[in-house]
Amino acid sequence: MSKRVHISPLANEGMYILDTASWRTERPVMNKEKCIECGLCLTYCPVNAIIFDENKYKITYNYCKGCGICAVECPKKAIDMVPEGGGK
Amino acid sequence: MNYIEKLRTSEDMVTPGMSACQGCCGELVLRRILQISGKNTIVCVPPGCMSGAGVVGWDYQTGMKIPVHIPLLTNTASFLSGVSQMYQRKGRGDVNMIAVAGDGATADGGFQSLSGAAERNEKMLYVCYDNEGYMNTGFQRSSTTTKGSRTSTTPIGEAINGKQQPSKYVALIMSMHALQYCATASPSHMQDMVAKVERGLAESKKGFAFIHVIAPCPTGWSFEPDMSIQIAKKAVASNMFPLWEKYNGNYYITVENKKPIPVKEFLQSMGKYKSLTDDDIAQIQKEADTKYETLKKLASE
């Protein structure tokens, strides 16, 4: 459940974090061959699950809710929504 | 530095796991605004979807990496006026004062404090994410709910067919105050939105800045979560939500719509308008056209 991470000095107990990854029924999977590194997926991801690391866009699954906006907005259709096979 | 570079290098100020619905544009707007404003910010989030989703924290925990306040639904702008005044007095005019409020806290309950703060030209940036209803409590109608929209307090039935009154155009009302900056933005036009937030933050050091952002709500408006950005795009393309800004007393249309799509295309892409008749659609089309014509006239002066 909510992990207690002390990021801010303001609150007593730390950061309120919800395990939103458990909501996911489909996960976005990026096809690196089609990706043109335009960055629109990062721009539109509501939970900031897409990061820019080592000059590549990558999907992280810790908080991704599986909304699928990235798959719809990708101009090259490089992201597919794959059904989750139980668990993380 | 273009806007994508800016977004990918700036730190997220909001808790990574918050309980906003899948595909929530409110969450997207909140994160982007605070990414642009950065660490030197105090933010006010009145009751609504975003505070309900846990960005103000819960049970002695905080929901943000920066100071966050939860005022009442009615006093967001006056609360932040006080905070802003105190910071000016302490010589900390550099701190960004941001309110991120829903349409209920902006257009309904919070309107008197908002109008007052705009009239006093308090130094702050007030952002309204407009999901056209009280989504947090189950989609009751608000004054920005569009005509013909199904809500839990204006259901579809024999007596009425969705909301009977047209929506209140808050952004235009606000722009008629002598404020520093006023704009409308859409998360689908991210470059435009980022530029407006940056300008709004710069202008908020001199006076009151107001930005009205459309935030399509998959749960309330009944569409698939992955279509959020497409719906926002259609709202702009059909002139249901034109993008413009006002500064130095002049209006500017920032995204010009040379060939607007029929509003029918926007209305039929979601469930909340499913009971509309052709007459209703024609009337909404007329209202959207009038709205855009008014803006064009204001912008050409």
Distance to chain B for A30, nearest Cα, Å = 16
Assigned domain for A62 exists: yes
Q: Which residues of B194-224 are buried (b: 16+ CB within 10 A; e: fewer)?
A: bbbbebbbebbbebbbbbbbbbbbbbbbebb
Q: Which of residues 19-58 of A touch B (CB under 8 A)?
A: 19-21, 23, 38-40, 42-48, 51-52
Q: How confident is the model at residue A1 (pLDDT cuts 50, 70, 90)?
A: very low
* Average pLDDT over every residue of A44-49: 95
* Model confidence pLDDT, tens digit, residues B171-189: 999 999 999 999 999 999 9
- Residue pair A33/A76 in contact by the 8 Å Cβ criterion: no
On the question of pLDDT at A86 being above 60, the answer is no
Asked whether the beta carbons of residue B17 and residue A63 sit closer than 8 angstroms, the reply is yes
**Could you state, in order of their start, the residue ranges of all structural domains in chain B?**
21-300
DSSP assignment string, A24-85: -SEEEEE-TTT-----HHHHH-TT--EEEETTEEEE--SS-----HHHHH-TT--EEEEE--
Q: With 0-12 CB in 10 A as exposed, 13-18 as middle and 19+ as buried, what is B125?
A: buried
ipTM: 0.89
Distance to chain B for A12, nearest Cα, Å = 6
On the question of pLDDT at A9 being above 80, the answer is no
* Model confidence pLDDT, tens digit, residues B66-103: 999 999 999 999 999 999 999 999 999 999 999 999 99
B42 to chain A: which residues are within 8 Å by CB? none
Assigned domain for A73 exists: yes
Total count of domains within chain A: 1
Pair of tokens at residue A12: 């007593």
* Model confidence pLDDT, tens digit, residues B23-70: 999 999 999 999 999 999 999 999 999 999 989 988 888 889 899 999
Identify the CA nearest to B16 among candidates A82, A11, A49. Answer: A49
Interface test with A, best of B24, B45, B62 (most A CBs within 10 A): B62
Task: Write out the residue range of the structural domain in which residue A51 sits.
Answer: 20-83
Count A/B contacts: CB-CB distance under 8 Å. Answer: 112
For the CA atoms of B273, A43, B24, B104, what is the dihedral angle to 10 degrees? -80
Q: What is the DSSP letter of B41?
A: E
Q: What is the CATH number of the domain that holds A44?
A: 3.30.70.20
Residues of chain B whose beta carbon is less than 8 angstroms from a beta carbon of chain A are: 3-4, 7-9, 12, 15-20, 22-25, 27-28, 31, 54, 57-67, 187, 190, 218, 224-230
- CA A31 to CA A34: how far, in whole Å? 6
* Model confidence pLDDT, tens digit, residues B106-164: 999 999 999 999 999 999 999 999 999 999 999 999 999 999 999 999 999 899 989 99
Q: What is the DSSP letter of B301?
A: -
On the question of pLDDT at A6 being above 90, the answer is no
Q: With 0-12 CB in 10 A as exposed, 13-18 as middle and 19+ as buried, what is B12?
A: middle
Assigned domain for A10 exists: no
Neighbours of B93 (CB within 10 A): 13
Distances from the Cα of B129 to the Cα of A1, A62, B99, angstroms:
29, 26, 10
State the pLDDT at residue B53: 92
- Residue pair B7/B35 in contact by the 8 Å Cβ criterion: yes
Asked whether the beta carbons of residue A12 and residue B18 sit closer than 8 angstroms, the reply is no
Asked whether the beta carbons of residue A11 and residue B22 sit closer than 8 angstroms, the reply is no
Chain B CB within 8 Å of residue A10 CB? yes
- CA A40 to CA A45: how far, in whole Å? 9
A64 to chain B: which residues are within 8 Å by CB? none
CATH number belonging to the domain at B21-300, selected among 3.50.50.60, 3.90.420.10, 1.10.150.120, 3.40.50.970: 3.40.50.970
